């Protein structure tokens, strides 16, 4: 057992309708994740990709130990339907399925479904939603609920799960509303972190009890720092159009998008390891940790020392990247 107890998740391939052989894409992604020691895969939700619950079922079927974290969007899936789906997947495969409670950041998708709630209202609804979901999964007694967003009378979902198979609720975001939701109903609060010293005085500065803390970052690690930076800059070249888009994101509705945009200066490098290059190029939404294996492990250790217990890797990772990331994680776990 190493000094820190932490878990590492990848990001699942989210096939689109025009992808060739999407089943092969999902199963190959799961094989690589499991073969390189990841604990599970985060599965996105948006209007252009396959249903995340179907993808989760495929991952469970094709792997032996991976835990899916499935994006759960209240406007798309009523709590009764979510409870039935989670219960079915868990009972069929005999292992836990976690959920990532989201509220929507793409304005065009919110408009398409006629979403009437503003940013803070969507988090208020998410709190009520999560409470109902927990009730349906924890007991078979009829549920009567009179809330602001949901009303049920003597509802029985027949979806009770044993405590060790009940999903953990991840809440993504860094705004005051998302952090209130995470404190109210979350097991783990997930954010795209700022450089580690700033992160300690911003995201971790709230009073009172907190859920577990998770960060979503990309990693580009190699034998030497020069090799890592060469690979990272080749993969995420910036251009004038991308830089203008970053400037516009400083006024984004998303708190963490605004935070990253403010960090994305001329070169976007902080602390010699933390880099906003993927974000600045328009090809990623997460900060990157770039350097030699030991340098990246040292930087991650500083986040772990602040209480981070979950690391979610951004981007679709190929075999080479996963091998290098495995070396970083093995270093950390061996300390």
Could you read off the pLDDT of 119-135 as tens digits, one per residue?
999 999 999 999 999 99
Residue 184 DSSP one-character state:
H
pLDDT tens-digit readout, 212-221? 999 999 999 9
| Per-residue model confidence (pLDDT) at position 315 | 79
Q: How far is CA 257 from CA 27, 189, 220, 260, in A?
A: 31, 16, 21, 5
The 3-state DSSP class for residue 168 equals: coil
CA 257-263-267 angle, to 5 degrees, is: 125
Mean pLDDT value across residues 175-187: 93
Task: Write out the DSSP string of 158-212.
Answer: -----GGGSPPEEEE--SHHHHHHHHHH-SEEEE-PPPHHHHHHTTT---S---E
Nearest to 101 by CA among 168, 12, 9, 192: 168
Task: Find all residues with CB under 8 Å of 92, minimum gap 6, and list them.
Answer: 57, 60
- Ordered alpha helix ranges (H), 186-318: 196-201, 225-235, 240-249, 255-263, 277-280, 293-305
Is residue 289 scored above 90 in pLDDT?
Answer: yes
Q: Which stretch of DSSP H or E encloses residue 41? A: strand 40-43
CA distance linking residue 116 with residue 118, whole number of Å: 7
Per-residue pLDDT for 1 more than 50?
no
Question: How confident is the model over 231-277, as pLDDT tens digits?
Answer: 999 999 877 776 666 666 666 667 777 888 788 777 889 999 999 98
Note whether 67 and 92 are within 8 A (CB).
Answer: no
Nearest-angstrom CA–CA distance, 321 and 290: 12
pLDDT at 59 over 90: yes
Phi, psi of 136 (to 5 degrees): -70, -30
Cα–Cα dist 329/322, whole Å: 10
């Amino acid at each position: 057992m190493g000094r820190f107890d932490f878990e590492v998740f990848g990001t699942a391939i989210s096939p689109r309708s025009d992808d060739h052989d999407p089943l092969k894409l999902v199963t190959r992604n799961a094989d690589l994740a499991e073969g390189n020691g990841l604990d599970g895969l985060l599965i996105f939700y948006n209007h252009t990709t396959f249903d995340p619950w179907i993808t989760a079922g495929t991952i469970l079927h094709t792997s032996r130990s991976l835990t899916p974290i499935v994006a759960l969007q209240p406007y798309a899936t009523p709590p009764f339907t979510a409870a039935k789906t989670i219960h079915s997947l868990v009972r069929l495969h005999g292992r836990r399925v976690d959920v990532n409670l989201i509220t929507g950041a793409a304005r065009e998708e919110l408009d398409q479904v006629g979403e009437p709630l503003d940013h803070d209202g969507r988090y208020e609804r998410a709190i009520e939603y999560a409470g109902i979901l927990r009730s349906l999964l924890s007991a078979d007694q009829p549920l009567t609920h009179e809330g602001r967003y949901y009303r049920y009378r003597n509802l029985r979902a027949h979806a009770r799960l044993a405590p060790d198979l009940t999903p953990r609720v991840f809440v993504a975001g860094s705004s005051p509303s998302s952090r209130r939701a995470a404190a109210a109903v979350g097991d783990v609060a997930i954010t795209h972190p700022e450089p580690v010293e700033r992160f300690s005085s911003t995201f971790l500065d709230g009073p009172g009890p907190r859920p577990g803390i998770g960060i979503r970052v990309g990693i580009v690690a190699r034998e030497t720092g020069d090799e890592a930076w060469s690979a990272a800059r080749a993969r995420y070249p910036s251009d004038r159009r991308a830089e203008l888009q970053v400037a516009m994101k400083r006024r984004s509705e998303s708190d963490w998008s605004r935070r990253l945009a403010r960090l994305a200066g001329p070169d976007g490098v902080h602390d010699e390891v933390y880099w906003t290059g993927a974000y600045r190029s328009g090809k990623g939404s997460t900060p990157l940790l770039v350097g030699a294996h030991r340098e990246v492990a040292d930087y991650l250790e500083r986040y772990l020392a602040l209480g981070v217990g979950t690391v979610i890797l951004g981007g679709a990772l190929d075999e080479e990247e996963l091998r290098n990331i495995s070396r970083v994680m093995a270093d950390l776990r061996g300390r």
